[in-house]
């Protein structure tokens, strides 16, 4: 997008704050935030949030590298890890609660939200499975490795499939949600 999308405004909050507010409101207790090479710009956004931080200094790294860093920052006794993406800032706290509940009911499954037949984010990985990422696997490979260990959970939250990767995506969300932002000023 040519800019740090986590800091783009969506209404009165940034993408980053939308994500963190939903996590905190959902009751998730141990939150690790993985910041990228421009981590200095993000520090102000962390104020007041109960989070651990890790820094991924490699610009060209994949998501798996960030997940590995985030895992090192959280409590190793967690039964599951919810992998949230800041380019999905519209995921609601209710959806996060649904995913956590599904994990409590079947703690050995990878939980993937589905909106109108389309898989989305965030996904919740059981502690034992997420450790596979340290073997060099990426998250997509882990999910695809064995369909029997994946539980698809229908949700009514379009935010799970609203991936904001381009300025066109961002502008469409602003129009659809009636949000007001100074796109040029960010």
Mean pLDDT of the chain: 87
Say if 162 falls within a structural domain: yes
Residue 179 pLDDT: 55
Say if 184 falls within a structural domain: no
**CATH number where 131 lies:** 3.90.550.10
Say if 185 falls within a structural domain: no
User: Do the beta carbons of residue 154 and residue 160 sit within 8 Å?
Assistant: no
Give the predicted TM-score (pTM) of the model. Answer: 0.88
Residue 1 pLDDT: 66
Say if 186 falls within a structural domain: no
Find the domain containing 36 and state its range.
5-179
Angle subtended by helix axes 39-46 and 15-26, to nearest 10: 50
Residue 123: pLDDT band (50, 70, 90) is very high
Number of domain units in the chain: 1
Residue 68 pLDDT: 86
Beta-carbon-side half-sphere exposure of residue 111 (alpha carbons within 13 Å): 29
Residue 34 has pLDDT above 60, yes or no: yes
């Amino acid at each position: 997008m040519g800019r740090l999308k986590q800091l783009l405004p969506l209404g009165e909050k940034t993408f980053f704050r939308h994500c963190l507010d939903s996590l905190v409101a959902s009751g998730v207790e141990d939150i690790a935030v993985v910041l990228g090479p421009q981590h200095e710009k993000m520090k102000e956004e962390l104020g007041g949030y109960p989070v651990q931080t890790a820094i991924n200094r490699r610009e060209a790294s994949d998501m798996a590298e960030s997940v590995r860093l985030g895992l090192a920052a959280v409590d190793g006794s967690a039964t599951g890890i919810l992998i949230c993406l800041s380019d999905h800032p519209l995921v609601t706290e209710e959806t996060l609660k649904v995913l956590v509940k599904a994990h409590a009911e079947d703690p050995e499954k990878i939980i993937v939200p589905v909106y109108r037949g389309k898989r989305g984010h965030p996904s919740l990985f059981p502690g034992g499975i997420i450790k596979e990422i340290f073997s060099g696997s990426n998250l997509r490979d882990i999910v695809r490795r064995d369909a029997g260990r994946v539980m698809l959970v229908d949700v009514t939250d379009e935010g799970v499939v609203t991936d904001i990767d381009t300025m066109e995506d961002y502008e469409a969300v602003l129009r659809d949600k009636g949000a007001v932002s100074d796109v040029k000023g960010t």
